Structure 1
């Protein structure tokens, strides 16, 4: 079995430590844990890991967040991975920091990366792991917050939350979506 794990983010050093790049951070954590290295390829950086007989193709799109669909669609075709084996990892301001929510499908919730993937694939029937980044910002400052860097407290707690998100991704491929949702969709 093969799975595509698309961690969304924006390329470039100026975005590396921002909340919006949590998808890249989760993909990096998975690769590091498995001793894999990302290789620059078409529409993104790709690494492949194996866990319990499953292959996980990790993708960090280089198309920028708002055009993630192009990279996701290409790598699904390239690796011959069915859409039901796609998991997209994104930030979510509606969830408290570090909270993980898995969903089988659904709306984009105002997230431009998810919106573009749904438009490109022609549907929103793909799993997503939403990583809570919190929403502690004044009205009108959402972009500044999302593209802002982690607070010192968040930075300190991040490794533990990345570990939990990585475990959820691996569980998606080994235990299935329903069991993974039951195990990880807790407060």
Structure 2
């Protein structure tokens, strides 16, 4: 049950990342949080991921309230605040995924699923590389002029966005595989 909730939470966050539907990130992080609550007793990495998910949930609520303020008033008065929320959320998300993968790895290792452990490591490495590149490009665009962003956008879409989509889909598949092949009560 816990991995199933994480699986669906990652899908909702993935949709949010593409469509930017307000409150989808809050729903996705809620699902991940409750999934991790079910798994926290199995490994300390799930406990840490659960705690981090609570913090990113709060950041997401703040970000969504701020986005509604921007939509209503048509101006972004606190761009530094907005950018800080984005960067903090990206860093915390990377730590959440690390701890989820590490928790899955530990359980798979205990159950003797050595090949699955290799898959977990490879998918996390791919996620980390694409996420760091994504963070680099997002932070870089925060300081660019609008004309520079237009020139930079094709490179961003081709290299980072597609890589991030692929690594996220692979992580979602990893959670599905954990649901179906590892156990049991999770």
What TM-score do you get using the length of structure 2 for normalisation? 0.31
Greater per-residue helix proportion: 2
Q: Larger Cα Rg: Structure 1 or Structure 2?
A: 2
